[in-house]
Chain A
Amino acid sequence: MHAHDEPACQSRRDFLLNGGKLVMLAAASAVTEAVWAQRAGHAPLAIARLSALKAGEPYYFEYPQAGDLNMLVKLGVPAGGGIGPQADVVAFSTRCTHLGGKLQDTLQAGLQVLGPCPRHLTTFDLSRHGVVITGHATASLPQVVLELDGDQIRAIGMQGLVYPDRSRHA
């Protein structure tokens, strides 16, 4: 039996530092106990320079695979998982975890909110690990694990399941 009653969460960094490694999506596996996805480290990707970010202006990038669109943003207030001197730089998937709606262009920067999703109006709180504010999603918005090396911001993993692109997974 699986233990669903998880202990208090490790930080994503802890997870990665404690042996988290690449776990590729395995939807096509012939093994019925296959893992579809989980939090995972991925090959690092240099995204942007911290000094070039302006508060409230989103920067889009694909990660961990081509077509997986994410948004990097400096919120201006401390955020869960944020990096930088103010711990306010975060990045999230732009695909709604309810039914896969596209969240790009829905940033309400002053409120640290992504959404409402144009499909069913779910909103996510970017200052609190992408937790659902209100709506229908059954998981938080996947957060890109970031690392700061000098001025360089790198993506090094994902926390949470990205709603699948059905053309690739089904």
Chain B
Amino acid sequence: MPEIQPVPLPPLGAEEISTACDYCVVGCSYRVWRWKVGAGGTANTAVPWANPSQHNIVQWQGQPHHVLVLPDPHARAVNPKGNHSMRGGTLAQKCYNPTNKTRERLTTPLLRVKGELQPVSWDTALDIMAAVSTHVLKRHGEHAWGVKAYSYQYFENTYAITKLALDAIGTPAFAPHDKCANSNDAAGLDDAGLEAFAPAYEDWGACDVLFLSGTDPFETKSTLFTSWIMRGEVPGKTLIFATPHRSMGVAWAEKRGGLWLPVIPGTDTLLHNAIARVIVERGWQDQAFIERWVAKRWEVDQGYGRGTRNTPSQWRTTWGTWQSDWDDFRQFLLSRDEHRLEHAARITGVPAALIERAAVLLARPRADGTRPKASFMLEKGNYWSNNYMNSASFAALGLICGAGNRKGQVIGRGGGHQRGMISSPGNPDWLSPEKHPGRRKKPLNLDRWLMDGQLRFAWVFGTTWIGAMAASDELERHIDRLTRGSPQQPQQATVAAAVTALIARADAGGMVLVDSDIYPVEPLGTRYADIILPAATWGEADFTRCNGERRLRLYNRFCDAPGQAQPDWWAVQGFVRRMGFGDKFAWKNSSDVFEEAARHSRGTPYDYFELVEQARRERVTGHEYLRRLGGDGIQTPVWRQGNSIAGTVRLHDPLTRQGEPGAFRNKLLSAFNTHSGKAMLLKTPWNFPGWSEFYAAVQPRSEKQELWITNGRINEVWQSGFDDIRKPYTATRGLPQMLFMNPEDARMRGIETGDRVRVSNDMVYVQTGMPFGVTESEMNFNSLLAAGHIRITQGSFEAVAVLDPGMRPGVAKAGFNGRGSHANAVCHAVPDPMTNNYRYKLGRGRIERLAAAAEKFDLKGSSLKPRGLA
């Protein structure tokens, strides 16, 4: 137990600065009180109560200042009355203070010389990068120069990074933090015409029944769950969870008449279709909504509802598998044997009575003829197990229940990170060597490109890369081979020596690795990076982004960045100046980037172009205008209304007004995102070989006593793990990688709670090469295997076992992206051929007990209790 530290009170007159949380998608409003250390004055006792986790001492303009960082007690929008999670509730402790563990922040650029990282100047680091990049681009082409970057860490940075990669360099070798390619997340939603972040938080509060697939928002979106789902306009709503783990939100829901559908990993599509079949068989579908808002045959046929364009969604029509209208979809549900209750129950592992009960709760009209308002939320447990089919079948289930464009009747993602990506124009996907069958381009798989030795220079921004991607061990082996394993290593900390060595490495088939981050990242930065750049982060520069209901805020600067740390947009700018195209990046400050990016937000759900226009009319910067909107900000898309601007509560809602005549119109505001403005029903046949061949291959093998090894987010470390290991309370609490196991599965293996276990899979499939698809079946698993495009590798990780009766038998769950314990190591790096996204949730492994872990007996450490103790 740490000593409890005194928490000082701010004096009257202490500065108050609004901001929003750095972590999860919910994006709660926060308020910072800042005052100089040693300042006298009368204590302000009206400030909300603060505990030691909410106080810190930071440098501000070179002087030590106290800060209290508290959930905004006046918040109206996101976290009413100052609700918060453990992550946000300890934000103050993430701020740099060299007297505590935040002293591990990167404060200067580093160069690896003779295997050891040495401090160098920004000029030296950027000069080396520019010289090596110039050579790589000239000698090996833009394909050999790649970027792996977060998609969320503020508009200013993501815009600068994508402008560098996609526009200035023009490389197809670009992938965001959570994907191996620059692809859609939940592509089935997109193809149905649904924007993933169309709903507002009030919608999740205003439904009568909420179907949650592959997520427990208690764990991952805490304040959305506790302020809106548990409460909101309909506090008595019924929750239906489809997930193999009965975590706290699930357990709470069950106690209140909700349902837990303990689905076998990967089978959600069949679960959705079986529920939909019950609804349709009994005539409970929302026929009036379907008639008005679901595309009819001719609207379907006009290019999948999107016109005839050379796009992935257009391509997906090529083989005629998916697109449907109401009559055809109904026929699909009713005619296929696997949608029958008994059949679906056997494959999904969800009892028939529960499937039927879910249909009743979602769609059975009441005695007076009214329908329950049903909403549908999905997250990664859904779309990272069967990417296209799970999200497409989920959308169809929601649509037949009348959800998608009305208050309390919505379909969307709960969200992971906040929405901080504005992508620069430039679409070098046409340079990608990957193709769907037929002639359609597919975004490039950056992991495979690297493993195949095609990448000679990689710049990583704020992601672990290795632990975040599938087949982590195999990926790490290749990164090791291409960097540390190369004989060409800088021997002196001079520009000339480093450039010579690194160019020689690139020419010899190796890779030069640059890692921009706030802490040394294990192992990517600590073991493999040649150059490390120190980034300024939350609170250290003015930044902007949207949260999970498109609420745009300014994240104010309130403390100095450590040492020479700079925001990533600044590093990009310094780099491109040395590359000779700096005039396209002539920003003077963070707001300049924000304002330039505005025009590229148009037409997207995060459109704030009119906000910047309004700021110009009022002769203030974009950031300054947003600063005035405080913690509640404004929901994008922003549109002009008279002499002012207005935000948008939810997308697709026909009741939303469309701004001034002549103003830029955004179809998303009042219609679905298709050519016709109507939503698309998509069929998802269970035996589609792009799925079924892979699913058969990755089943746990009984002869090896394997279980499904899935992974998920743990509330207290979700998106904050890099800070949690340095915050006093969360660090003391202990953060072991946990493996939640059903007690019977554990007993059969002689495993108790607190035992250290090793999870290993000796057959981790990794797709290799860049095979062209020509014929229909060519990119499916069996064809790839026969053609030699599947490599068999091994992967393992260690964890502390926690016996949890809320874990479905046959399935064990680890924390995602654990520090030093990559649960993704036992997952297969063979993407969904429809979308090029991995199926991260479908690992498998044999579990062996190693020994009792220290945590087993440490009564001062972390709790090892099950999660769902409602």
Contact = CB atoms under 8 A, between A and B. Distances in A.
Interface size, A (range): 35 or more
Nearest to B84: A136
Contacts of A153: none
A132 B4 contact: no
Contacts of B50: 36
Interface string B515-559: 000000000000000000000000000000000000000000000
B100 interface: yes
A74 interface: no
A136 B53 CA distance: 12
B580 interface: no
Name, among A5, A113, A134, A135, the residue most crowded by chain B CB atoms within 10 Å (CB to CB): A134
A49 interface: no
Interface size, B (range): 35 or more
B870 A125 contact: no
A38 interface: yes
Given A113-B869, A116-B248, A170-B45, A129 B93 contact: no
A132 B100 CA distance: 22
B51 A116 contact: no
Contact of B53 (A34, A128, A139): A139
B49 A166 contact: yes
Interface in A91-130: 97-99, 108, 111-113, 115-116, 119-121, 123, 125, 127-129
Contact of A116 (B5, B7, B870): B870
B820 interface: no
A125 B42 CA distance: 39
Contacts of A139: 51-53, 729
A65 B341 CA distance: 60
A46 interface: no
Nearest to A158: B4
A16 interface: no
A131 interface: yes
B226 interface: yes
B315 interface: no
B715 interface: yes
Given A32-B39, A123-B865, A136 B859 contact: no
B57 A1 contact: yes
B480 interface: no
Given A1-B57, A28-B45, A138-B90, A9 B869 contact: no
Contacts of B100: 3-5
Interface in B1-35: 1-11, 35
A9 B89 contact: no
Given A32-B9, A133-B869, A169-B49, A123 B3 contact: no
A91 to B, nearest CB: 15
Contact of B6 (A35, A138, A140): A35
Contacts of A34: 6, 8-9, 43
A133 B218 CA distance: 13
Given A32-B8, A120-B226, A121-B226, A127 B49 contact: no
Contacts of B865: 111-113, 123, 125, 133
Nearest to A120: B226
A80 B2 CA distance: 14
B85 A4 contact: no
B101 interface: yes
Given A34-B43, A132-B86, A164-B49, A121 B248 contact: yes
A134 B99 contact: no
A82 to B, nearest CB: 9
B862 interface: yes
A131 B862 CA distance: 7
B863 interface: yes
B64 A1 contact: yes
B716 interface: yes
Interface in B34-71: 35, 37, 39-43, 45-46, 48-54, 56-57, 64
A30 interface: yes
Contacts, number: 179
A115 B867 CA distance: 12
B728 interface: yes
A40 to B, nearest CB: 9
B733 interface: yes
B721 to A, nearest CB: 15
B252 A121 contact: yes
A128 B46 contact: no
A79 interface: yes
Given A32-B35, A121-B226, A132-B733, A80 B859 contact: yes
Contacts of B267: none
Contacts of B861: 128, 131
A4 to B, nearest CB: 4
Contacts of B41: 32
A45 B411 CA distance: 57
A105 to B, nearest CB: 14
Nearest to B861: A128
A78 interface: yes
B728 A6 contact: yes
Contacts of B6: 2, 33-36, 38
Contact of B863 (A98, A125, A138): A125
B869 A123 contact: yes
A113 B862 CA distance: 14
Nearest to A5: B100
Contacts of A108: 869
A35 to B, nearest CB: 4
A36 B7 contact: yes
A69 interface: no
A128 B857 CA distance: 10
A4 B51 contact: no
A156 interface: no
B859 A129 contact: yes
Interface in A6-59: 6, 9-10, 12, 27-39
B9 A136 contact: no
B153 interface: no
B860 interface: yes
A139 B35 CA distance: 24
Interface string B85-129: 110011001000101110000000000000000000000000000
Contacts of A115: 869
B83 interface: yes
A105 B167 CA distance: 61
B222 interface: yes
Contacts of A29: 9, 43
B46 A170 contact: yes
B101 A9 contact: no
Nearest to B219: A134
Contacts of B729: 138-140
B516 to A, nearest CB: 26
Contact of A39 (B3, B56, B89, B222): B3
B8 A138 contact: no
B222 A136 contact: yes
A83 interface: no
Name, among B9, B37, B56, B82, the residue most crowded by chain A CB atoms within 10 Å (CB to CB): B9
B230 to A, nearest CB: 8
Given A134-B716, A136-B226, A170-B45, A38 B8 contact: no
Contacts of B37: 1
Name, among B11, B83, B863, B865, the residue most crowded by chain A CB atoms within 10 Å (CB to CB): B863
A25 to B, nearest CB: 11
Given A27-B9, A34-B9, 10 more contacts: A2-B5, A4-B93, A6-B3, A32-B11, A112-B865, A116-B252, A135-B715, A136-B89, A139-B53, A170-B46
25 contacts: A1-B57, A2-B99, A10-B3, A12-B1, A27-B9, A30-B42, A31-B43, A32-B10, A34-B43, A36-B9, A37-B4, A38-B4, A116-B869, A120-B226, A121-B230, A123-B865, A125-B863, A128-B861, A128-B863, A136-B84, A137-B89, A138-B51, A139-B51, A169-B49, A170-B45
Please provide the 9 A-B residue pairs with the shortest distance between their CB atoms, ordered closest to farther.
Answer: A80-B859, A125-B863, A4-B100, A138-B89, A138-B53, A35-B6, A120-B226, A38-B4, A5-B100
